[in-house]
């Protein structure tokens, strides 16, 4: 699979699609987020696996995010847009249960824009061991995952 499209989209279109992608993710509507991937899109998630097609992506993201706390946030430290490619650095942040410093780990996301507000490729690169450590520390501090009582 080629990551580059034969079509070069305008920088404004790519930026608008990226900004919408981030806004939809921040909204927590993971079905709508899946719709921002092309029907034949590819999502490479280094811990969960590789998902082929929008419906596999939808099934995976809805399932995994149902296990995440609703208070989780994804602030972006930086973004680079080069042609149809977008690379950005979203932190994975869990607010401290008692108001102290938040718990967080880093991620790099790579997207390939395919037109019509959709992305044909996404890759999330992070250290799953660090993510597990951060979630463990957050739970030890009093954080609760959905279904924990």
For the chain, the domain total comes to 1
Residue 124's pLDDT band, with cuts at 50, 70 and 90, is: very high
Domain hosting residue 121, numbered range: 11-140
Model confidence at 4: pLDDT above 60: no
Query: Does a structural domain hold residue 115?
Result: yes
Mean per-residue pLDDT, 81-92: 97
Query: Does a structural domain hold residue 59?
Result: yes
pLDDT at 149: 62
Instruction: List, for residues 129-148, the tens digit of each pLDDT value.
Output: 999 999 999 999 999 988 77
Instruction: List, for residues 25-84, the tens digit of each pLDDT value.
Output: 999 999 999 999 999 999 999 889 999 999 999 999 999 999 888 889 999 999 999 999
Query: Does a structural domain hold residue 149?
Result: no
Neighbour order of strands in the sheet with 118-125: 49-52, 37-45, 118-125, 108-115, 85-90, 76-82
Residue 94's pLDDT band, with cuts at 50, 70 and 90, is: very high
Mean per-residue pLDDT, 84-109: 96
Sign of CA dihedral 97, 48, 77, 8: negative
Query: Does a structural domain hold residue 2?
Result: no
Query: Does a structural domain hold residue 1?
Result: no
Model confidence at 1: pLDDT above 50: no
Query: Does a structural domain hold residue 20?
Result: yes
Q: Are 114 and 5 in contact (CB under 8 A)?
A: yes
Whether the pTM exceeds 0.85: the reply is yes
What CATH number does the domain containing 33 carry?
3.10.450.50
Model confidence at 3: pLDDT above 60: no
Mean per-residue pLDDT, 11-30: 97
Query: Does a structural domain hold residue 84?
Result: yes
Query: Does a structural domain hold residue 146?
Result: no
């Amino acid at each position: 699979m080629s990551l580059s499209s034969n079509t070069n989209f305008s920088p404004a279109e790519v930026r608008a699609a990226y900004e919408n992608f981030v806004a939809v993710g921040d909204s927590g509507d993971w079905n709508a987020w899946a719709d921002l991937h092309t029907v034949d899109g590819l999502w490479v998630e280094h811990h969960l696996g590789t998902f082929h097609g929008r419906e596999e992506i939808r099934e995976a993201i809805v399932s995994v995010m149902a296990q995440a706390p609703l208070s989780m946030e994804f602030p972006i430290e930086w973004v680079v847009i080069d042609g149809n490619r977008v690379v950005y650095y979203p932190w994975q942040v869990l607010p401290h249960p008692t108001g102290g410093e938040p718990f967080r780990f880093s991620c790099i996301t790579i997207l390939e824009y395919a037109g019509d507000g959709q992305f044909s490729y996404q890759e999330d690169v992070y250290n799953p061991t660090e993510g597990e450590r951060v979630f463990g520390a957050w739970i030890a501090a009093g954080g609760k995952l959905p279904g924990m009582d």
